[in-house]
Amino acid sequence: MLHAVDGVSFEVRKGETFALVGESGCGKSTIARLIVGLYAPSRGRIEFDGVEISNPAAKAATARMRRRMQMIFQDPYASLNPRWRVRDVIAEPIRAHQEHTKRVEERARRVGGLAAEEAQITTRVAELLKQVGLAPEDGEKYPHEFSGGQRQRISIARALSGNPEFLVCDEPTSALDVSVQAQILNLMTELQARLGLTYLFISHNLAVVSHVADRIGVMYLGRLVEIADAQELFARPKHPYTRMLLDAVPDLEMSGRQRTPIAGEVPNPLSPPTGCAFHPRCPHANDRCKRERPELRSLVEAGVKPGLIRHGEAASACHAVEEKRI
């Protein structure tokens, strides 16, 4: 049995950007697909605005809530239908969320009703294209006629077409050139400020996350090992794995700080190590780390305490931190 996501728990406040980071295969994208409903959780729950959207018995309430969230995928070319024009790609969520097909017959009875609605959709698509830095005329083209950065702009326009409040961004810049990454990040930051959006931003690139995230969760082999505000995490990382990830970020300031490169490989998730999953790669591991799995514990000035992680609190899953060995 493979536990792709094991005991992960966090909350995202309205208007903030919560980032999930970690090496490939740690479960970040699985969490993204669980939240938007592409995967069904085997246990646990997912709540949105106080409503449990992972409950299959509450389909009507879940459907209403899911209209308020959208997802931006990692590969913009693979996530866009190559046979559709861009205008149809962007208009699809508008029609789906407004239950357009169910009301066609009713509106068709009204003279010009259907034509008027299609005109409104066309106008909305043109506004969305301009909002992401493209021209309304681009709606007549197909996805293959655009560059990677332009296709990601189309993906963002499609995600915004249903007027969502919450966007799940699964490595939205990793497939792009560095110069284009900056443009997309600036666009997402601008849209968040203008539209009041909330982001779950998933990435393996801490240099990118440092520019957009308010809070960060660090994942390793399906579990959260550290949560902290972005500034706190970059200034004073607690978990050894977080420290190693930060040491892998290029030091453009030439600070001279000694760095510890990430050693070893991620263990086989089908047969994870006993105790702490990171102990085979950790320079601070002891016998307790090898036999007892650490739980995510909140960090306070007085030391480490177990219990529910409140919003804004830093937390770490590490015996060495709990014992103040590091």
DSSP string, 111-149: TTHHHHHHHHHHHHHHHHHHHTT--GGGGGS-GGGS-HH
The pLDDT score that the predictor gives to residue 303 is: 53
* pLDDT(58) > 90: no
236 falls within a domain: yes
Residue 106: give its domain's CATH number. Answer: 3.40.50.300
Q: Is 263 exposed, middle or buried (0-12, 13-18, 19+ CB in 10 A)?
A: exposed
* pLDDT(165) > 90: yes
Residue where a domain terminates, one of 164, 182, 198: 164
For 15-30, what is each residue's pLDDT tens digit? 999 999 998 889 999 9
3-state SS of the chain: helix, strand, coil percent to 5?
A: 40, 15, 45
Residue where a domain terminates, one of 164, 189, 218: 164
* pLDDT(307) > 60: no
- Average pLDDT on 121-147 reads 95
CB 205 within 8 A of CB 191: no
Residue 280: C-alpha distances to residues 29, 223, 258, 276 (Å): 24, 16, 22, 9
278 falls within a domain: yes
Maximum average pLDDT range among 93-102, 124-133, 259-268: 124-133
For 63-100, what is each residue's pLDDT tens digit? 888 889 999 998 888 889 999 999 999 999 888 876 54
**Hey, is 72 helix, strand or coil?**
strand
Region of poorest pLDDT, from 33-47, 153-167, 253-267: 253-267
Residues 240 and 316 in one domain: yes
- Rounded to an integer, what distance in angstroms lies between the CA atom of residue 123 and that of residue 117? 10
Residues 243 and 318 in one domain: yes
The pLDDT score that the predictor gives to residue 204 is: 87
36 falls within a domain: no
Which residue type sits at 285? Answer: A
What are the phi and psi torsion angles at 316 (to 5°)? Answer: -145, 145
Domain that holds residue 143: 74-164
Which residues, including other chains, have CB under 8 Å from residue 43's CB and lie 6 or more apart?
A: none
The pLDDT score that the predictor gives to residue 1 is: 83
Residues 157 and 235 in one domain: no
Residue where a domain terminates, one of 115, 130, 164: 164
Residues 157 and 236 in one domain: no
Number of compact structural domains in the chain: 2
Tokens of 97: 């969320």
Select from 203, 229, 202, 225 the least CA-distant residue to 214: 229
Cα 250 to chain center, whole Å?
23
100 falls within a domain: yes
At 255, the pLDDT band (50, 70, 90 cuts) reads low
197 falls within a domain: no
DSSP E strands, the chain: 17-21, 47-48, 51-52, 69-72, 166-170, 198-203, 215-220, 223-229, 297-300, 303-305, 314-316
* pLDDT(253) > 70: no
Residues 236 and 157 in one domain: no
Which residues, including other chains, have CB under 8 Å from residue 237's CB and lie 6 or more apart?
A: 226, 228, 243, 246
155 falls within a domain: yes
79 falls within a domain: yes
* pLDDT(200) > 80: yes
189: left (phi over 0), alpha (psi -120 to 50) or beta: alpha
Residues 155 and 230 in one domain: no
67 falls within a domain: no
At 304, the pLDDT band (50, 70, 90 cuts) reads low
